[in-house]
Amino acid sequence: MNKVRTPLLPFFLLRVPLIAKSMDRRSFLLGVSTLAVSQLLISCGSKNQLKLRVQVLKGSIPGQIVDKFDRSLGAKTDLKFAPIEQIKDIFTQLQDWHEPKTSNTWGWGISLPLGKGKKEVADLVTLGDFWLKAAIEQKLIQPMELEQLKQWGILDQRWQNLVKRNDQGNLDPQGKVWGVPYRWGSTVIVYRRDKFQQLGWEPRDWGDLWKPEVRSRVSLLDQPREVIGLVLKKLGKSYNTENIDQVPSLESELQALNQQVKFYSSNSYLEPLTMGDTWLAVGWSSDVSSVLPRYPQLAAVIPQSGTAIWSDLWVHPTGADKNALPYQWIDFCLQPEMAKEIVLLTKSNSPVPSKIFAADIQEPLQKLLLDNPEVFAKSEFLQPLSASAMKQYDSLFTKIKG
């Protein structure tokens, strides 16, 4: 039976003002960050000024950080930070810069470019780690120059390895560095405190989604990698398992989980939770963290057996001018005091070790933002899978949903 309850859709449309319209956060996968940039700084000046052009995922860098960077430079600098709603829009822009759109050939085999001249390529853009392989394969970005990154060594080996890739975009410890992580988040369980107080227990791990008390009270992300991945995690397997056809009981576990689900959604899963139509949802921490302080009846937890994690990266578009200013910006973001501000102001996590204490964070957000090394060690980035593996994931997910 298809568990997507289509009658819910008009209900959402009526109540959209309560929650940000789109909460689809991750992947090829991805979508909107729910946090707004506090300001957009554009310093216009003469042609001789240093310039920095950045397309940044909306909500992922506070305007205060840009202000402080501007003041730290001393000399007048022309800065432009343009907030972009969705990572997929940034990726499309990278493609447009690499291969400008052309008009029809007009019958003579000659293609004429559309638009008014060459567009200015940004020096840096935000990209999610899940998009990194495609960006490298399509030659949309260029490797970082490590000798210009003074703060590179502050990142743990796990973060460094995430962005070391070969020319096909696959993980390679000896590969070039194609991006620099500046924040991260995870897939979490968010639930109604009041409903679970009545039940006498609270969700702690993926296995709780199968409990009979929450039948038809669960919403899941409409993403094969996320849903099948959490089942694999419950079974002690990896999110990045290639041959899922070889995993015993995977399909039966998915069928049983499907019986618990009221609907699947990657962008409207918090609205019914706030109204009590669902009691538990699986979602992205970037969505959840913006809602928890406003809805005290909600709580969230990172599953103790580990979860999926994602990272926002700075990447250098192909064709961008090579100068030191982009690297100065990256280094500035990686300073522990700046990394801490990014965490607190954007309600995210940082790859930079910094002294963040419970007192620094609103109580509802502490379980999401205070690092738990044990859980983090069990968690995984969603790595690129082969085309045949992705076909298995998509086919099984479609079959389960009916």
What are the tens digits of pLDDT across the range 156-175?
999 999 999 999 999 999 99
Q: Per 3-state DSSP, what percentage of the chain is helix, strand, and coil (rounded to 5)? A: 40, 20, 40
- C-alpha distances in angstroms, 189 versus 71, 127, 192, 283, 351? 40, 25, 10, 6, 22
The rounded distance, in Å, linking the Cα atoms of 103 and 100 is 10
Q: In the chain, what is the straight-line distance between the N-terminal and C-terminal CA atoms, in Å?
A: 5
CATH 3.40.190.10 given to domain 50-104+117-184+310-368: yes
Position 43 scores a pLDDT of: 44
345 is written with which tokens? 């102001």
Average confidence score pLDDT of the chain: 86
338-371 burial string, b = 16+ CB within 10 Å, else e?
bbbbbbbbbbbbbbbebebeeeebeebbeebbee
| pLDDT tops 90 at residue 28 | no
Position 354 scores a pLDDT of: 81
What is the mean pLDDT of the segment spanning 69-80? 91
Position 118 scores a pLDDT of: 57
What is the mean pLDDT of the segment spanning 192-197? 96
The model's confidence at residue 100, banded by pLDDT at 50, 70 and 90, is low
Position 111 scores a pLDDT of: 40
Percent of the chain with pLDDT over 90: 75
The rounded distance, in Å, linking the Cα atoms of 400 and 284 is 22
- Least confident piece of the model among 146-160, 256-270, 363-377: 363-377
What is the mean pLDDT of the segment spanning 299-321? 96
- C-alpha distances in angstroms, 382 versus 48, 258, 294, 366? 43, 22, 30, 24
Tell me if 254 sits within 8 A of 261, measured CB to CB: no
Position 48 scores a pLDDT of: 62
What are the tens digits of pLDDT across the range 200-251?
999 999 999 999 999 999 999 999 999 999 999 999 999 999 999 999 999 9
Beta-carbon count within 10 A of 252 CB: 9
| Fold agreement between 8-21+186-309+382-401 and 50-104+117-184+310-368 | yes
E strands within 224-365? 261-264, 280-284, 298-301, 308-317
| pLDDT tops 90 at residue 40 | no
Position 210 scores a pLDDT of: 98
| pLDDT tops 80 at residue 36 | no
| pLDDT tops 60 at residue 23 | no
What is the mean pLDDT of the segment spanning 298-311? 97
| pLDDT tops 70 at residue 16 | no
What is the mean pLDDT of the segment spanning 85-103? 86
Tell me if 315 sits within 8 A of 141, measured CB to CB: yes
Please name every residue paired with 314 in a beta bridge, in sequence order, or none if there are none.
126, 180
Domain boundaries, given as residue ranges, for the chain: 8-21+186-309+382-401, 50-104+117-184+310-368
- The CATH number of 8-21+186-309+382-401 is which of 3.90.1150.10, 3.40.50.1360, 3.40.190.10, 3.40.50.300? 3.40.190.10
What is the mean pLDDT of the segment spanning 273-281? 96
| pLDDT tops 50 at residue 67 | yes
Best CA proximity match to 398, nearest among 270, 262, 251 = 251
Position 101 scores a pLDDT of: 56
The rounded distance, in Å, linking the Cα atoms of 267 and 274 is 14
Beta-carbon count within 10 A of 16 CB: 12
The rounded distance, in Å, linking the Cα atoms of 154 and 160 is 10
Tell me if 389 sits within 8 A of 243, measured CB to CB: yes
The distance from CA 224 to its chain's CA centroid, rounded to whole angstroms, is 16
| pLDDT tops 70 at residue 289 | yes
